[in-house]
Chains A and B, each alone.
Chain A
Amino acid sequence: MRQRQRDTDRTDEPEQKGKRRRSLNVEASVITYVFLALFLMLIAYFIYFMAFKSEDFINNPANPRVKGFEKLVVRGEIQASDGTVLARTVTRNGKEVREYPKGREYAHVVGFNSNGMSGIESDKSFYMLRSHAFILERVMNDLKDQKNPGDNMVTSLDTKLQDAAYNGMGSYKGAAVAIDCETGGILAMVSKPDFDPNTVESNWKSLSSSEDSALLNRATQGLYPPGSTFKIITALSYLKNGGKLTDTFDCKGSYTQDGYTIHCYGGEVHGNQTFKQAFGNSCNVAFSQVGLSLPKGALKSTAQEFYFNKRIPADFSNVNKSQFTLKSSDNQAMVMQTAIGQGNTLVTPLHMALICEALCNDGVLKTPYVVDHIVNDGGSLVRRHSGSGQRICTESEAHTVRSLMRYVVTNGTGRVVNSSAYTAYGKTGTAEFSSNKNEAHSWFVGFAKKGDKKIAVAVIMEGAGAGSSHAAPLARKLFETYLR
């Protein structure tokens, strides 16, 4: 091409110092195309930004515009899946105020809209201040200089399940999360201690400085030692690295390595048992040995495949990263502790529920969300949440671990959730969080199904003691409520 150009141009061109020169048209074309390519990339990026990235910026609390919409639009409602109003705007003494009919029960998940924002109030602020009301209604409102009604957020929250979780937590601090395994929709989310979102403004001083951080959503932000619930991850790692369910372990009640001794809970001696039985009994001795038998770094890589040390995908904000810090340079004591869920590992209740959700889904983690769809003031659909998910372990790995979790419910520490009304799977946990061995968080994580209905839960009650005695009964109540 270039050569031909040179030949054809030759006759047109003047010569200089005996050397033929061709016109600059090839160069001009090259330059044109290079710039054109740059601009087309810019356009592609601009369209990509508008279509996919702009929401991150629109919804950012630092964006001053969202507040500006309040001049034109009445902020929409937040509703439970059955239409129960969880938040609405009412006019009192000529002033618009936000009202939360369900108060404390939904305080963390719904959030508040004064002194800053939280929960759905913060995440979906922009959408509640958009109006997709019927066009004629909007024209009429414009003509009368009245505000348009904002769109309503319909959540996946199940009022009966939320009631059960909220009441079941009683006066314990902690959190309970329930997720629809099929969709990733949050069915219930409770965090205690709670607060009254209706009076955030007047109680701001005491709320924001309270020692038990009532404003914190423990379900998504609380970082807890996972205790024995972490044995799910240890077991997965063991199976990935050649371990078998039929491998045998001998438990004498304690196990000492490098001068550090691990005891089984309550001083129990499990004796000779298979790996499956060890999981069912939540045997610390067997799992310490499992931890030591794993190749260096294996447990960490399994944990990271399950989103430890990573940002968990979620359609809502303020989700803390879980932490797994075991290094290959750590001593054997730390390896043993980490394998049984003590050590320095920290996890959010939401994260544990999601691990169960993925195992229930044959290894596919469905991205959790709480706002299922958006409707206009007349109830017509504006947009629906589109689910997404990714595989985090193989189907056969999920099946094997499921069989272990089933064994916990039928024969092990989680028998309290066993019922003929549904098929349940789970793992209890008793997480020590201080040097006082008598103080421990009570954990239960698991899932249950009946027909097409599948639910994953994570329950933690701070300082309540054994998982089987406090958290598991609440999980049973949640299963019964949802799978009736």
Chain B
Amino acid sequence: MIHLITEVSRLTFIIIFAIYTYDCFAALRVERRGDDSTRLYGRQKAMTYLFLVNGNLLLFLNTEEPKIFIMMLAEIIFVVIAMIIYNKIYESASRAVVNNMCMLLSIGFIMLTRLNQAKALRQLLFACVALIITCFIPLFIGNVKLIKGLKLFYIVAGILLLGIVAVAGGTTYGAKINISVGGIAIQPSEFVKILMVLFIACMLYKDTSRKQVFTTVILCCILILILAYSRDLGNAMIFFLTMLVMVYATTQKPVYLLGGAGLFAVAALVGYAAFAHVRTRVIAWKDPLSVVDGAGYQISQSLFAIGSGGWFGTGLYQGMPKRIPVVETDFIFSAISEELGGLFALCLIFICIANFLMFFNIALTIKNRFYKIIAIGLGALYASQVFTTLGGVTKFIPSTGVTLPLISYGGSSLMATMLMFAMIEGLYQYRGEKEEIYETETTRYRQNR
């Protein structure tokens, strides 16, 4: 009987999420025309609640633990509060951004409860704390003087944090990524990412002379080299791509983009020649089954899961996602694809695409140059992280072990991503405003037509 309900719900999950995904892109189109998209966003909200109910119902049927219902209630309350904050309190915030944030978090909640209830509970707590902290961000983001004034702090704090991890951090899967503070493992790189975006924006929003660009790049490269030294190759790549995009955007010179791509190729070749752990990953990427008992174990397990799930998935609790190492963090996409189906996973990729499209869309509408640069930086950060992790677990690119924002388990990742989303929401409110603040520093200003 449970099996039958599970079979049927494989389809309901996909239908719910497909409607949600359709609405997401429909809203983008409707807004471009300037029409009202409230109805679409309303239906998206309904789909999010429906997904939570459907998911928790299945979790209960399979575990028969009443506390699942308490979790469900908490999750629904969480979504309701998030909606109130970004729909009612910040009236002009982007509904699309908050809807997607809640949907992705919900998928994470359901999948984590299926994989590890204790971690799911902690994730829910992290999300609540993060929501409370980040809901003040849109207030502070208007204080440009403060943001610009902390320029030195960003880079010094970034280097120090990553440096401490490189020296004293704990090792997980060959990479030093976290540091334990009072019993809580913190992953500083998640936050340093945002610091780097702010730093580059502060450095280059006005002065893009060669000297300024090189100073910025060299300081950022220190961060990247520390990450590479800690063997956190995934984050090194994300930092590098984000830096490249921001330097290109601010200087408006494509030559930096090409030069950066060349530098990346050289770094990759040197890394491959010099480090055995880089070679191992490339071998595991090219033919994981040939080293299935060694370096290819993780990626093979991931592909076993994705492949066996097929387009419609096995249904919750019918697969074996726990066979994949670190499935709750880096490989949660494979677990989703296995049990909820390849079609569901495809919709998930589309939602991630919609997110970065929205980030860049917001960047386009912002008139203030400094804010525009921050929005571009955050968009690049999000897009490179999603691409690195999804590409890695599907064997499109070598796997590097990065979290999938908002879905993967992990307090630091969750907090940092919600910080990003809150910043974007904040920037969205200022999209119409001109550059008064920094115009006072410039010589002339022409009125917009």
Contacts and interface: CB of A to CB of B under 8 A. Distances in A.
A377 B435 CA distance: 72
Contacts of A64: 304, 320, 323
A22 B353 CA distance: 27
B396 A65 contact: no
B306 A60 contact: no
Interface in A3-54: 11-17, 22-32, 35-36, 38-39, 41-43, 45-47, 49-50, 53-54
Interface stretch (B73-81, B101-109, B226-234, B436-444): B436-444
Interface string B407-435: 00000000000000000000000000001
A27 B249 contact: yes
B248 A15 contact: no
Given A24-B376, A42-B396, A14 B442 contact: yes
Given A14-B444, A46-B342, A46-B346, A60 B364 contact: no
Contact of B349 (A39, A53, A60, A65): A39
Interface stretch (A97-105, A137-145, A203-211, A256-264): A137-145
A interface bracket (residues with beta carbon within 8 Å of B): 35 or more
A60 B442 contact: no
24 contacts: A15-B442, A16-B206, A16-B443, A23-B372, A24-B376, A26-B252, A31-B248, A32-B360, A46-B394, A49-B395, A53-B307, A54-B310, A57-B303, A57-B307, A58-B307, A62-B289, A63-B304, A63-B307, A65-B320, A66-B308, A72-B3, A72-B318, A142-B1, A145-B3
Contacts of A53: 307
Interface string B363-397: 11000010011001001100110010011001110
Nearest to B395: A49
A15 B443 contact: yes
Contacts of A143: 1, 4
Contacts of A58: 304, 307-308
Given A11-B446, A32-B360, A58-B307, A50 B289 contact: no
Interface string A380-414: 00000000000000000000000000000000000
Contacts of B319: 65
Contacts of A25: 364
B445 A45 contact: no
Contact of A142 (B7, B305, B439): B7
Nearest to B382: A35
A5 B363 CA distance: 17
Contacts, number: 152
B315 to A, nearest CB: 10
A36 B387 CA distance: 10
Contacts of B400: none
Interface of A: 11-17, 22-32, 35-36, 38-39, 41-43, 45-47, 49-50, 53-58, 60, 62-66, 68, 72, 126, 139, 142-143, 145
B311 A50 contact: yes
A57 B342 contact: no
Nearest to B443: A15
Question: Mostly helix, strand, loop or mixed at chain B's interface?
Answer: helix
A12 B304 contact: no
B448 interface: yes
B292 interface: yes
B319 to A, nearest CB: 7
B252 A27 contact: yes
A54 B338 CA distance: 12
Contacts of A49: 303, 306-307, 394-395
Q: Which residue of A14, A47, A68 has the most chain B CB atoms within 10 A of its CB atom?
A: A14
A235 B44 CA distance: 71
A275 to B, nearest CB: 45
B196 to A, nearest CB: 16
A17 B212 CA distance: 15
A27 B306 contact: no
A27 B248 contact: yes
A31 B1 contact: no
Contact of B353 (A24, A36, A68, A139): A36
Given A25-B364, A64-B323, A139-B4, A42 B300 contact: no
Interface of B: 1, 3-4, 7, 206, 245, 248-250, 252, 254, 289, 292-293, 300, 303-308, 310-311, 318-320, 323, 342, 345-346, 349, 352-353, 356-357, 360, 363-364, 369, 372-373, 376, 379-380, 383-384, 387, 390-391, 394-396, 435, 439, 442-446, 448-449
B52 to A, nearest CB: 25
A53 to B, nearest CB: 8
A24 B444 contact: no
Contact of A60 (B245, B250, B300, B443): B300
B448 A12 contact: yes
A14 B435 contact: yes
A17 B353 CA distance: 38
A279 to B, nearest CB: 42
Contact of A56 (B289, B390, B446): B289
Contacts of A26: 252
Contacts of B449: 11-12
Contacts of A15: 442-444
B187 to A, nearest CB: 24
Given A12-B449, A28-B364, A42-B394, A62 B3 contact: no
Interface centre among B320, B360, B380 (most CB of A within 10 A): B360
Contacts of B444: 14-15
Nearest to B372: A24
Nearest to B390: A42
A11 B369 CA distance: 15
A57 B304 contact: yes
A27 B204 CA distance: 15
Contact of B249 (A28, A39, A43, A50): A28
Contacts of B384: 35
A10 to B, nearest CB: 9
B9 to A, nearest CB: 13
A29 B245 contact: no
A405 to B, nearest CB: 39
A54 B306 contact: yes
A48 B292 CA distance: 22
Given A42-B387, A62-B289, A28 B396 contact: no
A43 B448 contact: no
A158 to B, nearest CB: 33
B300 A39 contact: no
Contact of B364 (A22, A29, A43, A139): A29
Contacts of B249: 24, 27-28, 31
Please provide the 3 A-B residue pairs with the shortest distance between their CB atoms, ordered closest to farther: A54-B307, A142-B4, A63-B304
B387 A39 contact: yes
B115 to A, nearest CB: 16
A425 to B, nearest CB: 40
Contacts of A31: 245, 248-249, 360, 376, 379-380
Nearest to B386: A39
Contacts of B396: 41-42, 45-46
Given A29-B360, A62-B304, 12 more contacts: A24-B372, A27-B248, A38-B383, A45-B396, A49-B303, A49-B306, A50-B307, A50-B310, A54-B303, A54-B307, A57-B289, A60-B292
